[in-house]
């Protein structure tokens, strides 16, 4: 024989010999030892010995034969590793599949069929990944009944009710150890069946009950051209099976040892598994995240996720507002439930609460379901059992706490929560509107619109006439009329002479001095028997007299109840003065930075103050014809009248002095830089959004009662805004609310205002809301966006400089600005 031919023959023979070891069966004659594999007939799966991760221990498992990265989908001896390569897998004389170590001396693992058979049984690996033990045509054991961490297509997850067999999935202990991990993914048959993920014996995540098309808690689960699901629920069995219509697609569901349920699909081009779905994802997915009788809703990014169900209130308000939701909610009124007049309030698009404690009656429709629930005093809620099966069928009723409700944006089903007559009335009022009501509303609104048009018409005419004969300011003091440069008509700003002012202020005596503002000292003066404030502007105004007059005249026309009124001015020689109305309560900083006076400011007053400031700024920014940017908003520039109404002062100074001048000034004014937006502090860029920034700082100062240049021992590298941000982000915003505010304030509203403050001080000017939007936010309780990280003006802390808290750090040179990092 030709040696080459002989060699080829030998090669073929050896190939044949190798192939003979890769048959898809194990029989009593043909066992396998470590190193051999059994391959399913279509070469899809292989069975053999393997070592996971970094261990040397040997396990018998099933993996995808053609996927290079060994993906083990089933393990026989999960809890009993073999510490050498002496294992053999064979059919025992009783017909069991058995795994021995050390030449048949140590039994490591065995199937345990209830009926013993002859040794003629055969173990066969199918292309589905199922390993069957068959005798005389009957399967009496299959690996699909004992899943490991992976659900393969066409594998049943669920129960055979006649035998009690429950097929469930458990993750490995670790990537190195396929032992049974702490989580269980299974169908809980109690009450109304649902899919649950347990940690130990505690529910951890709930896929929820079956809606007819999907688990209510897995909205992503849709029948597609790739997947089809079937859920079977009858007297014999309860199970879910997922199928794949196209056999060339490989997709598996894996329970991860970290407590995640993950679905992967094989991408043959990139040769890798692609994660296509996982759960739990967000807080609301964790079982009972909000405690009993609450609703977890993360569809609004800017809202806290937990809220009480209709008719319920936080069981422990204190911890609830600290965002410890675990206590959940309790009925507002116990006694009034189950008396006449109560009914149900619909909560839409939810994962219905834990059905383990629900009663199911498949024979009832939704209407009968409601009647059933209404009749039974202990019934707390009802819903359809199968909400997506031929309309709505079946009836679920709950008779106790409602646990683990989650709201979806556009999935889930409706649940009806029992409420008493009081709540029913209030929800009816806010809730759905009947057709009759709708018609009434339409008629009324048309009527209102017509009358508004008429009113506006009259108003316009009045205004036109009014302009012509507006009464002069009720102030008398040798008024010299200035020209109104806009209209060319006479303006009514009184011009005082220096002598009058000097007399009124006792010749600018220090006894009369009210304070020192950014643009010069302010004196109290009595003019024509009335108290006024006289601001003696420093001499550095760059303007000529005519320009100055023009500006003052313009600014004096800005009239708003939250702006300090300008009553007149005085221009003589080098002197320029503005005469303002006098406000007895002085400036806001004298209140909020003084413990005794601050304690007089209750929440209502503080709220009134910053709402007023906000309205004043809106007027400056957009409602007045000048569109003034204030540029120096701060507590000392807010004056308070006798009723504690805030009035903004020093507006328009930038126009009077010219922008550069103000910048120069503010650099010298200690503390003002704390109100300066980063773009202004860094580049001198000013816009309405820099005023918004300053307002945000002011708002936070009013709520916290702290100065923005204080020192924060708990976050020493940060400044005031940084500190508020940190505390807020850690969910501890309660801690920074001024302790002198006392116990009686609406916590939610205060937290909301802190959030508004943080929105105003966001780093990017474009992210900050316009002032008109801020006013709207303060005025309603619609949801707010989440603030982004503010600009941190980080104080350089010098180890030797213990005066870090003082105002000595007041120059721009000593602050460094770190731009927020992307998260």
Ligand X SMILES: *[C@@H]1O[C@H](CO)[C@@H](O)[C@H](O)[C@H]1NC(C)=O
Binding site for ligand X (CB under 6 A): 83, 103, 106, 136-137, 149, 160, 162-163, 173, 175, 181-182, 228, 230, 236-237, 241-243, 245-246, 248-249, 254, 256-258, 330-331, 334, 359, 376, 378, 399
For tokens 């940060």, name the residue. 718
For the record, the structure tokens of 806 come out as: 């003082």
- Which residue in 258, 262, 223, 255 sits closest to 241, CA to CA? 223
Token code pair at residue 400: 């106790």
Please give the DSSP secondary-structure letter assigned to residue 483.
B
When the beta carbons of 334 and 432 are compared against ligand X, the nearer one is 334
Token pair 């004096």: residue: 556
Closest separation in Å from C-beta 393 to ligand X: 20
- Phi-psi category of residue 230: left, alpha or beta, with phi > 0 → left and psi -120 to 50 → alpha: beta
103 or 487: CB nearest ligand X:
103
Q: How far is the CB of 199 from ligand X (least distance, A)?
A: 8
CA distance readout (Å), 716 to 3, 499, 710, 712: 87, 53, 10, 5
Query: Rounded to whole angstroms, what are the CA distances from 297 to 184, 291, 312, 408, 591?
Result: 26, 13, 16, 7, 40
Q: How far is the CB of 340 from ligand X (least distance, A)?
A: 16
Nearest to 278 by CA among 258, 302, 299, 297: 258
388 in Cβ contact with 213 (< 8 Å): yes
**Buried-state track 750-777, b at ≥16 Cβ within 10 A, e below 16:** bbbbbbbbbbbbbbebeebbebbebeeb
Closest approach, Cβ 746 to ligand X, in A, equals 20
Neighbours of 778 (CB within 10 A): 18
Report helix, strand or coil for 301. coil
Residue 258 or residue 786: which is nearer to ligand X going by CB? Answer: 258
Q: In sequence order, what are the residues at sequence separation of 6 or more whose Cβ sits closer than 8 angstroms to the Cβ of residue 221?
A: 213, 214, 215, 229
Query: First vs last Cα of the chain: how many Å apart?
Result: 75
* Between 103 and 474, CB nearer to ligand X: 103
Nearest to 759 by CA among 724, 807, 809, 718: 724
Smaller CB distance to ligand X: residue 88 or 295? Answer: 88
Cβ closest to ligand X, residue 399 vs residue 586: 399
**Cβ burial, residue 246 (10 Å; 0-12/13-18/19+):** exposed
Task: Kindly state the smallest distance separating residue 76's Cβ from ligand X, in Å.
Answer: 16
What does the block give as tokens for 550? 């023009």
Q: What SS3 class is residue 816?
A: strand
* Minimum distance from residue 161 beta carbon to ligand X (Å): 8
Q: Is 4 helix (H, G, I), strand (E, B) or coil?
A: helix
Identify which of residues 338 and 740 has a Cβ nearer to ligand X in the complex. Answer: 338
The encoded tokens of residue 133 equal 């033990």
Nearest to 253 by CA among 292, 279, 282: 279
Supply the minimum distance, in Å, between the C-beta of residue 288 and ligand X: 17
* Residue nearest ligand X (C-beta atom): 243
Q: Which are the contacts of 522, defined by CB distance < 8 A and separation ≥ 6?
A: 513, 514, 515, 516, 533, 534, 535, 536
Task: Check if the beta carbon of residue 612 is closer than 8 Å to that of residue 527.
Answer: no
Tokens of 100: 């021995």
Tell me whether residue 101 or residue 666 sits nearer to ligand X (CB atom).
Answer: 101
What does the block give as tokens for 218?
């897995």
In sequence order, what are the beta bridge partners of 122? 134
Shortest Å distance, C-beta 276 to ligand X: 13
Active-site amino acid positions: 632
Of residues 212 and 787, the one with the C-beta less far from ligand X:
212
CB of 372 to ligand X, least distance (A): 9
DSSP E strand boundaries for 362-508: 381-386, 393-398, 405-407, 413-419
Handedness of CA 724, 726, 729, 735 (dihedral sign): negative
Q: What are the angstrom distances between the C-alpha of 612 and each of 231, 340, 531, 564, 627?
A: 61, 47, 23, 12, 18
Judged by CB, which is closer to ligand X: 81, or 678?
81
Nearer to ligand X, 330 or 421 (CB): 330
CB of 375 to ligand X, least distance (A): 7
The helices-and-strands tally (H runs, E runs) of the chain is 17, 44
Smallest gap from residue 363 Cβ to ligand X (A): 15
């Amino acid at each position: 024989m030709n040696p080459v031919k002989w060699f080829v023959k030998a090669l073929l023979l050896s190939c044949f010999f190798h192939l003979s070891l890769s048959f898809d069966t194990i029989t009593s004659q043909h066992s396998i030892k470590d190193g051999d594999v059994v391959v399913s007939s279509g070469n899809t799966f292989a069975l053999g010995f393997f070592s996971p991760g970094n261990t040397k221990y040997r396990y018998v498992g099933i993996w995808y034969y053609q996927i290079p990265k060994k993906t083990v989908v089933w393990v026989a001896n999960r809890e009993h590793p073999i510490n050498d390569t002496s294992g053999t897998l064979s059919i025992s004389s009783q017909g069991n599949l058995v795994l021995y170590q050390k030449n048949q001396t140590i039994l490591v693992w065995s199937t345990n069929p209830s009926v013993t058979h002859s040794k003629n049984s055969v173990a066969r690996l199918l292309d589905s990944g199922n390993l069957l033990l068959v005798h005389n045509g009957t399967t009496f054991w299959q690996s699909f009944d004992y899943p490991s961490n992976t659900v393969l297509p066409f594998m049943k997850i669920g129960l055979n009710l006649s035998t009690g067999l429950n097929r469930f999935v458990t993750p490995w202990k670790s990537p190195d150890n396929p032992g049974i991990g702490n989580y269980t993914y299974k169908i809980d048959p109690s009450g109304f069946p649902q899919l649950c993920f347990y940690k130990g014996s505690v529910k951890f995540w709930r896929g929820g009950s079956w809606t007819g098309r999907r688990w209510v808690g897995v909205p992503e689960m849709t029948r597609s051209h790739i997947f089809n699901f079937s859920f079977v629920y009858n007297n014999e069995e309860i199970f879910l099976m997922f199928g794949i219509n196209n056999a060339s697609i490989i997709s598996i569901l894996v329970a991860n040892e970290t407590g995640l349920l993950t679905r992967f699909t094989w991408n043959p081009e990139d040769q890798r598994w692609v994660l296509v779905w996982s759960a739990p994802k967000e807080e609301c997915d964790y079982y009972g995240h909000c405690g009993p009788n609450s609703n977890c809703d993360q569809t609004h990014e800017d809202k806290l996720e937990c809220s009480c169900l209709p008719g319920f209130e936080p069981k422990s308000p204190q911890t609830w507002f600290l965002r410890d939701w675990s206590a959940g909610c309790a009925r507002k009124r116990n006694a009034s439930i189950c008396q006449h007049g109560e009914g149900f309030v619909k909560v839409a698009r939810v994962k219905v609460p834990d059905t383990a404690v629900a009663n199911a009656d498949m024979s009832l429709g939704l209407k009968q379901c409601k009647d059933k629930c209404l009749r039974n005093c202990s019934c707390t809620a009802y819903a359809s059992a199968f909400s997506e099966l031929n309309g709505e069928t079946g009836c679920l009723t709950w008779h106790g706490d409602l646990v683990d409700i989650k709201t979806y944006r556009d999935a889930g089903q409706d649940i009806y929560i029992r409420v008493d007559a009081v709540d029913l009335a209030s929800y009816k009022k806010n809730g759905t509107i009947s057709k009759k009501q709708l018609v009434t509303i339409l008629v009324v609104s048309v009527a209102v619109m017509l009358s508004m048009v008429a009113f506006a018409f009259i108003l316009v005419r009045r205004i036109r006439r009014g302009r012509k004969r507006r009464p002069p300011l009720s102030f008398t003091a040798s008024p010299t009329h200035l020209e109104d440069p806009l209209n060319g008509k006479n303006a009514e700003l009184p011009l005082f002479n220096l002598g009058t002012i000097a007399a009124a202020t006792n010749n600018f005596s220090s006894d009369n001095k009210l304070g020192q503002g950014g643009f010069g000292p302010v004196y109290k003066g009595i003019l024509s028997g009335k108290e006024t404030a006289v601001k003696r502007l420093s001499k550095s105004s760059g303007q000529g007299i005519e320009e100055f007059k023009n500006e003052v005249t313009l600014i004096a026309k800005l009239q708003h109840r939250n702006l300090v009124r300008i009553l007149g001015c005085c221009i003589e020689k080098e002197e320029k003065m503005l005469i303002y109305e006098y406000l007895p309560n002085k400036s806001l900083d004298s209140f909020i930075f003084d413990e005794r006076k601050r304690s007089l400011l209750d929440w209502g007053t503080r709220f009134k103050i910053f709402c007023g400031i906000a309205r004043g700024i809106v007027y400056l920014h957009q409602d007045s014809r000048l569109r003034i940017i204030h540029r120096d908003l701060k507590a000392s520039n807010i004056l308070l009248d006798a009723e504690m109404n805030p009035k903004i002062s020093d507006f328009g100074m930038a126009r009077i002095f010219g922008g550069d001048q103000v910048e120069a000034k503010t650099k010298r004014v200690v503390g003002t830089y704390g109100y300066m937006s980063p773009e202004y502090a860094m580049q001198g860029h000013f816009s309405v959004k820099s005023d918004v920034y300053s307002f945000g700082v002011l708002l936070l100062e009013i709520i916290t009662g702290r100065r923005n240049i204080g020192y924060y021992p708990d976050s020493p590298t940060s400044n005031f805004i940084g500190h508020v941000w940190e505390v807020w982000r850690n969910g501890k915003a309660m801690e920074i609310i001024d302790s002198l505010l006392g116990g009686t304030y609406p916590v939610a509203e205060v937290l909301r205002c802190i959030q508004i403050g943080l929105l105003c001080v966001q780093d990017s000017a474009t992210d900050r809301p316009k002032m008109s939007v801020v006013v709207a936010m303060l005025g309603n309780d619609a949801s707010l966006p989440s603030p982004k990280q503010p600009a941190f003006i980080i104080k350089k802390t010098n180890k030797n400089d213990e005066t870090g808290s003082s105002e000595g750090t007041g120059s721009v040179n000593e602050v460094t600005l770190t731009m927020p990092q992307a998260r």
